[in-house]
Structure 1
Amino acid sequence: MDKLKQGIEEMQNHNYEEAAKLFTEAIDENPNEPVGYINFGNLLMHMNDNDRAVRFFNRAIEIDKTAATAYYGLGNAYYEQEKYTKAQEQFLLAVKNGLEEADVHFMLGMTFIHQEYVKLALPYLLRAAELAPDDVDVQFQYGLCLAQNGQIDASEKVMNHVLQLEEQHSDAHYNLGVVALHKEDARKALDHFRQALEINPEHMLAAHAKSQVEQALNE
């Protein structure tokens, strides 16, 4: 097994020092190969050393301007630093250079969400949802974005799909409660808020909404 594969295995097993040693040796042996730098960048991300990770991803891009996974890694590093515009630029370059996975579209969508551009986020989250129909986080964020864009029926459908994937998803229940209120079905809303609280008794939004609905029903 080559050193990069060994290093990835060690990283997956949380043996970060051993992984770093193997990646360093791989880079020393092939200094003009971008993959070693990309893997080292990913390792540094796992270790929450985003500043150094940025340097390794940039080095990979210097070597190969078409290294899509280097742009993706760099985007993630900027995202973790809450530099959402910079992250967005890198994710777009990853897509431009051929990366067509759910993760990159999802992260692109999330950069727009953090900048409160919910309309711009929607097509990317839609694409991520198409590519990862069984990913709970992707489906939930897509459903949330639909609601934020006023597409209530579509959001309801996606949130129900989230519950099929994960029955104990308190936030999906909460959002279905909000959808029910939009449709003026207070009792259905109350049921969802109660279920959200059964799953997560600390769900403050659900608790507040439940008390408001109960008060309205009692008047």
Structure 2
Amino acid sequence: MDYIQQGLQYMKEQNMEEAAKLFNRHIEEHPEDPVGYINFGNLLTHIKEYDRAKRFFEKALELDENVPTAHYGLGNVYFEQEQYSEATQEFQDAIKQGLDEADVYLMLGMSLMNQEQPKLALPYLQRASELEQEDVDIQFQYGLSLAYANLIEEAFNQFKHVLKLDEEHSDAHYNLGVAYLYKEEPHHALDHFNQALKIQPEHVLAGHGKKQVEDMLNEH
């Protein structure tokens, strides 16, 4: 019986207790295999036990420092603890060691964004967006990085793309409104701020944007 596969199935079903038992069994029977520690670490990250999770990923890397998923897991722990430069290092190591998945590029990009380095984040978020073209969150984060890097026209097109995937995305409407303001098209901006507020009435930024545009239009 494959304890790891069975444990992952339990995790999917949100049965963390049974999953933990099976990962633990795998570790007992295969103490030199980093895979058991990585999966237990992922489970602990999922239930927000970050310090314990970190120990499991570090143990996996002690056994084999060239396991990209252990670096990725450790990166996630650092990210959740807002240690973004440490997270950046781990995600970079995961990519160097051959992890070529949208999630690792997304997390590396977001770690750099949180360090206010949008230009460095851009290629990673672009890569994530290429790998997962239907993933709304990834496409939106890529749009944000374009906006922060002052690539307004590209950001504008990207937020439109997000709304094609999910027309109820209030933050995409808000950011599209901001892009329209840059283009000096206040009426279009107002439409999108209103859309954002219709979807999410407590959207503070959209409320502020709407008031700003209305004041501006009333002056003319």
Alignment partner, residue 12 of structure 1: 12
Paired amino acid for 2:83:
K
Shift of 1:165: 0.6
C-alpha distance in 2 between matches for 1:159 and 1:36: 40
Match of 1:127 in 2: 127
The Cα of 1:98 is off from its aligned counterpart by 0.4
1:49 offset after TM fit, Å?
Answer: 0.4
Residue 123 (structure 1) shift: 1.0
Q: Which amino acid aligns with 1:5?
A: Q
**Cα distance in structure 1, aligned partners of 2:212 and 2:83:** 37
**AA aligned opposite 2:100:** E
| Aligned counterparts, 1:36-115, within 5 A | 36-115=36-115
> Residue 100 of structure 2 aligns to a residue in which SS?
coil
Identity of aligned residues (%): 58
**Take 1:192 and 1:74, find their aligned partners in 2: how far apart are those partners?**
39
- C-alpha separation between the residues in 2 aligned to 1:109 and 1:85? 12
Distance in structure 2 (CA, Å) of the matches to 1:84 and 1:212 = 34
Secondary structure of 2:31's counterpart equals coil
Shift of 1:126: 0.8
Aligned to 1:188: 188
Give the structure 1 partner of residue 26 of structure 2.
26
Deviation at 1:179, TM superposition (A): 0.7
SS in 1 for 2:129: helix
Instruction: Give the partner amino acid of 2:186.
Output: A
> What is the alpha-carbon distance in structure 1 between the residues aligned to residue 13 and residue 27 of structure 2?
21
1:163-197 Cα deviation digits (max 9, x unpaired)? 01111001111111111111111111111111111
Q: CA deviation at 1:212?
A: 1.3
1:156 aligns with 2:146: no
Q: Within 5 Å, give how 1:135-214 maps onto structure 2.
A: 135-214=135-214
Deviation track 1:24-83 (CA, whole Å, cap 9, x = no partner) reads: 111010111110000000111111101000110011111112111000000001111111
Instruction: Could you tell me which runs of 5 or more consecutive residues in structure 2 were left unpaired when the two chains were aligned.
Output: none
Q: Which residue of 1 aligns with 2:3?
A: 3
Aligned-partner residue type, residue 42 of structure 1:
N
1:95 match: secondary structure: helix
Using the alignment, how far apart are the partners of 2:184 and 2:202 within structure 1? 26
Deviation at residue 12 of structure 1 after TM alignment: 1.4
Give the SS at the match of 1:100: coil
Deviations 1:124-173 (A, max 9, x none): 11111111111111111110110111111110111011001111001111
TM-score, normalised with respect to structure 1: 0.98
Q: What one-letter code is carried by the residue in structure 2 that aligns with 1:80?
A: E
Read off the aligned partner of 1:56 and give its amino acid letter: F
